[in-house]
Structure 1
């Protein structure tokens, strides 16, 4: 195929029949990943995209240098105390990946940070650059130090398919042990004595369904499956409580959970069930000294916090009762304190429950922000580590003194090039959806920007995931060129509580799409936006495809990253990874005709029509196991065949997974490419 004209995907009619409906899919052949013709087509699309965007190469390089120039390339994180060590990571100029380190603890205060300098007495635990070697892709699935600090379990992947190889390093000698396990999933947990490591593996549908116990120094052939989850709607995982007293084995679907526990000093013992699963009831557990803390939603839509005796974990007594205006997100137990992460009025917050004193909430000065507990491995502590950011405040690390009740700023991400938060403004607006619901929008712009301005509107709106206000170095390349950036907090996400999620799933999924269009029209009507580029990824990519069909005239362009645009075909195939699990999010179109018809009425691939579409850029990865590469490939092919307008571009990363390129410089270049396309599409002076 010539790179000078758009590739034409061949049409190979493939019939499917569901609920009496016969559908012909001309591009189903693209699902065969190992077919040379599929690879040739994807490479032809890449060649065409390179040709179509070749005039942006200089701009892309300029933006890449801006991102790089604003980033302190040699830097280190705030150390986190665990027992006798301070753990931290650092980066070095010119290197793609981080380096994990520790130093021996000397006193309670974190060591003084000096930019560009390793801490005195540093021990390098893992150097991601050495581990990556010459591979084009590298990621880590777990990195866990044993409770006594002598062993490190870590896992690596070089393809992007999220299947990792586990290794164990002796931190006293620096040597790798013979222990090696291939094909494991994320995460894992040590026993209290460091004799055993628990890990998960996946089934044929790549669903984590087994937890294994590996005894250090023994053959992996002797590893024992301690639990197997046979219900195809459930994933499982294993962890260790902060107190290191209990191993926690959790099974969860989209709407139901079940927990088992085992004393961590008895790794060969049997996990005991906390409370049997009950459809629609979610709960989690943490150990708090002489009792457990249980966060659950039984008869409590926005969740309730309860306590339970150690010998009767199913006996729940309310500690924080349900509130309709407050969603409890997480709970963390410390000796003498309980800390709750919550959400109210579209913002996150922190509530502290001191033992023997009145609860209170920590206040923050900005009108919109995001805060969460971050890096608190010690059970006995008087300091709570918090991560904080807003749309104008770079990521910041605070310690909150639980006794003095004061915030102590430890570090704020350095933004080079003269960045001053006072040069920018952030706002909260409210759009009105079709049904009268008020939809929050977070907005950031440079002060004095001429309005209306070209705008990027970002959205997600699924799985109760909230896109909270946050800072982006790369985004400055848009803001400084006169752009407005906005996030539409649409239904299907969790920004306004559990009901916000429920009102944007199943047979109410279209609220997600109409909320986004309403947000875009609000920005135009209120003189914010002269033109709007929509952007979203994964399930937010489904949103992009849906709004392109629903209201193409509203948008000047669409960026869809790893987009879930062939959702109906995927959710109809129970042999594919994630499908059966996803029935609790989208419904089951395979067995339910009503769900089938509803999904068919909004899924992007099925609803491409002959209308005029804005320019569309779709980005995907060949080794993505969450949203397959063929979804955007088929979508772009159908847009070219049926739709008008465009152009329609497809870019496939041939060595990456769901998160795209793995190295930081590679990911900056990828972002620079997208931002250059946005500037060009919005016809903004460069």
Structure 2
């Protein structure tokens, strides 16, 4: 590594040595000068990353007062000591606490008043909760560690035991432990290297967990007997050696079955095991067929066991059917396929089911009556919102817990009373500092793409600065557009710091996401992936052409696969943006997808294509992968790339190489690498707020609002 001499107080941008490595596929050779940066344990690589951090900190040192103000604004809007709405399970109410000055949450419980106690108690951080038990204080668990993540937390059905799993490196490999909640004793069980999502079986004497292979693919489900000190005697319940498939397991709400799902991006297979005797063997519901996805839940109707199945066999936006447990091929249609209504999930309870789906670009929640098949959709007042069922552990509840929010409505917990159809407000997150939702507004626009497709665009702004479109405004434009993941309008306390400075926040719901159903996703993946990038550019140009903003007042942001979007649009339309924030960006996509030994690569072939074996896929990906398409002689916008050294999903080397190549092309590009963190960035709420303040200060600086 070499550095240019300087007399400035700001250290120069680190310039890595060029050590070309040839990569040849399908008759094409690419000379990669920075592939050597992949050697994570090389002291020279670590030195480069530390030099990048020092350079970025020095260049942005003048923003420190703004960063501190934004951090204090975020902190000042959050009630730091608070409690979540308790959720009922067994004989207890379970809830979380946050305490002022502490980074992490505290898991607690308190006893029910009686078996008919279904109304959650209203808890106050200033009032002692009768009978409260602190189950897990993550602040204690995190002591001595720079990073902490809780990957599993579960309490046995009888409330007598607790398991938890932690990661202190950021690589998403967790250590599981077990505690006796009656005696308070931590049991000898220590299971290393587990994936997230471990849980007890209904007997409380066993737990199930998954492990990953060398490519970080969850591929094995294990049964562990509580009290065993390690995993040497654990029993493998299920394994899948197909490198395209992820494996996961969960107990049905009825406590009857352990469902094991093995799925790729386009194909799935579900196996059923008896939760009371999982070693008796697994039974496949429907054998896997390429391109057919399905999910299963268990219900009991008129004393008969049924499997309710969401599937896409001949149903692009999915269909809901049910089959008798004894005969999975005796199919009865419950909700026929309806184009434009993308069925997402079926959640079975004793007396009804909850169905979640998307329609007209928004999530929906409805109750399904088993006997009649009638679907009753819940209605909400906001024109844009996000909603979903959560926190419903019980098999036979009279109410359904819902999480709700919008760009202007803080996170809200409702309970829907099934018998009456009433919606009860249980809690809305308090935003301190005088927040009034009436001071803000939200709307949806439709931007035309070059091929005539209408792209939905969601906006939120502060009313006192005028209505967007009346005059050009600074715009923060966010995008993702992969994996059928939808970016729904949700509330953000941190976002208020930019809205209150006159910024309009916008989301471009580009193809490749799931906002408008399965076809929207299909039209932005594989050989149609460029639609994701051109849609985003077309949205930016539309906002400028219609007077909402101007190119010198737009900052784009995206993370992970959205970071690939950022790198692609920087190459496609550098003149359309003043700045680009790329968080853990997937910008060396072709190199990664060509190497099946890397984490997730083979799994990703269903999303991006297989360039290793298919020349046309190689050529297509080579045409857009950001690192290889950086252009010399182009005036790039300002770029800030943020990554984490221990990220197992998008390796740090991708943005590190990208930034070096951008600098060669003359771009003003900065790299910030968290040296102890994972794909989600730093851990701890105060650390996360500071990280977001760092990003927002940079965005405001690019937009000319840093004063």
The TM-score range, normalised by the shorter chain, is: over 0.9
Match status 1:255 vs 2:228: no
Query: 1:349 maps to which residue?
Result: 364
| Closer/same/farther in 2, CA of residues 562 and 310 from structure 1, 3 Å limit | same
| Closer/same/farther in 2, CA of residues 33 and 650 from structure 1, 3 Å limit | same
Q: Could you tell me whether the CA contact under 8 Å between 1:294 and 1:316 is conserved in 2? A: no
Q: Could you tell me whether the CA contact under 8 Å between 2:365 and 2:377 is conserved in 1? A: yes
Q: Could you tell me whether the CA contact under 8 Å between 2:256 and 2:275 is conserved in 1? A: yes
In 2, Cα distance between equivalents of 1:319 and 1:267: 29
Residue 390 of structure 1, aligned match among 362, 387, 406: 406
Deviation string 1:163-196 (CA, Å, 9 cap, x unpaired) is 0000011111111100110000011232221121
Residue 582 of structure 1, aligned match among 569, 589, 604: 604
Select between 617-626 and 301-310 the one with higher mean Cα deviation. Answer: 301-310
Match status 1:658 vs 2:679: yes
How far the C-alpha of 1:159 sits from its partner, in A, is: 0.4
Query: 2:321 maps to which residue?
Result: 306
In 2, Cα distance between equivalents of 1:658 and 1:402: 39
Match status 1:507 vs 2:527: yes
Query: 2:249 maps to which residue?
Result: 238
* Counterpart mapping for 1:80-95 below 5 A: 80-95=87-102
Residue 25 of structure 2, aligned match among 15, 18, 21: 18
Deviation string 1:284-335 (CA, Å, 9 cap, x unpaired) is 1111113111111111110111111122234332100000010001111112
How far the C-alpha of 1:144 sits from its partner, in A, is: 1.1
Query: 1:216 maps to which residue?
Result: 226
Residue 697 of structure 2, aligned match among 658, 663, 676: 676
Query: 1:523 maps to which residue?
Result: 543
Query: 1:105 maps to which residue?
Result: 112
How far the C-alpha of 1:245 sits from its partner, in A, is: 1.1
In 1, Cα distance between equivalents of 2:371 and 2:269: 31
3-state secondary structure, aligned to 2:188: strand
Residue 636 of structure 1, aligned match among 632, 655, 659: 659
In 1, Cα distance between equivalents of 2:28 and 2:127: 65
Query: 2:646 maps to which residue?
Result: 623
How far the C-alpha of 1:419 sits from its partner, in A, is: 0.3
Match status 1:180 vs 2:190: yes
How far the C-alpha of 1:548 sits from its partner, in A, is: 0.3
Residue 481 of structure 2, aligned match among 438, 461, 485: 461
| Closer/same/farther in 2, CA of residues 103 and 550 from structure 1, 3 Å limit | same
* Counterpart mapping for 1:67-466 below 5 A: 67-106=74-113, 107-219=117-229, 220-289=231-300, 290-356=305-371, 358-450=374-466, 451-466=471-486
3-state secondary structure, aligned to 1:37: helix
In 1, Cα distance between equivalents of 2:449 and 2:127: 52
Q: Could you tell me whether the CA contact under 8 Å between 1:293 and 1:305 is conserved in 2? A: yes
**Residue ranges of structure 2 left out of the alignment (5+ in a row):** none
3-state secondary structure, aligned to 1:222: coil
- What is the TM-score with the length of structure 1 in the denominator? 0.98
3-state secondary structure, aligned to 2:353: strand
Q: Could you tell me whether the CA contact under 8 Å between 1:189 and 1:247 is conserved in 2? A: no
In 1, Cα distance between equivalents of 2:328 and 2:228: 34
In 1, Cα distance between equivalents of 2:329 and 2:187: 40
In 2, Cα distance between equivalents of 1:378 and 1:60: 44
Q: Could you tell me whether the CA contact under 8 Å between 1:188 and 1:237 is conserved in 2? A: no
In 1, Cα distance between equivalents of 2:366 and 2:387: 11
3-state secondary structure, aligned to 2:123: coil
In 1, Cα distance between equivalents of 2:252 and 2:663: 52
| Closer/same/farther in 2, CA of residues 103 and 314 from structure 1, 3 Å limit | farther
How far the C-alpha of 1:379 sits from its partner, in A, is: 1.2
Select between 111-120 and 509-518 the one with higher mean Cα deviation. Answer: 111-120
How far the C-alpha of 1:356 sits from its partner, in A, is: 4.1
In 2, Cα distance between equivalents of 1:118 and 1:68: 24
How far the C-alpha of 1:266 sits from its partner, in A, is: 1.3
How far the C-alpha of 1:516 sits from its partner, in A, is: 0.5
| Closer/same/farther in 2, CA of residues 544 and 118 from structure 1, 3 Å limit | farther
Query: 2:571 maps to which residue?
Result: 549
Match status 1:537 vs 2:559: yes
In 1, Cα distance between equivalents of 2:186 and 2:306: 38
How far the C-alpha of 1:382 sits from its partner, in A, is: 1.2
3-state secondary structure, aligned to 1:529: coil
Match status 1:598 vs 2:620: yes
Deviation string 1:201-244 (CA, Å, 9 cap, x unpaired) is 11111111111111112352111111111100001011111111
3-state secondary structure, aligned to 2:452: coil
Select between 521-530 and 89-98 the one with higher mean Cα deviation. Answer: 521-530
Select between 11-20 and 329-338 the one with higher mean Cα deviation. Answer: 329-338
In 2, Cα distance between equivalents of 1:252 and 1:401: 35
- What is the TM-score with the length of structure 2 in the denominator? 0.96
In 1, Cα distance between equivalents of 2:45 and 2:407: 41
Deviation string 1:529-566 (CA, Å, 9 cap, x unpaired) is 23110000000000000000000000010000000000
In 1, Cα distance between equivalents of 2:126 and 2:611: 55
In 2, Cα distance between equivalents of 1:544 and 1:218: 48
3-state secondary structure, aligned to 1:418: coil
Match status 1:647 vs 2:658: no
In 2, Cα distance between equivalents of 1:456 and 1:579: 31
Residue 49 of structure 2, aligned match among 42, 47, 50: 42
Q: Could you tell me whether the CA contact under 8 Å between 2:237 and 2:278 is conserved in 1? A: no
How far the C-alpha of 1:526 sits from its partner, in A, is: 2.2
In 2, Cα distance between equivalents of 1:248 and 1:368: 34
3-state secondary structure, aligned to 1:613: coil
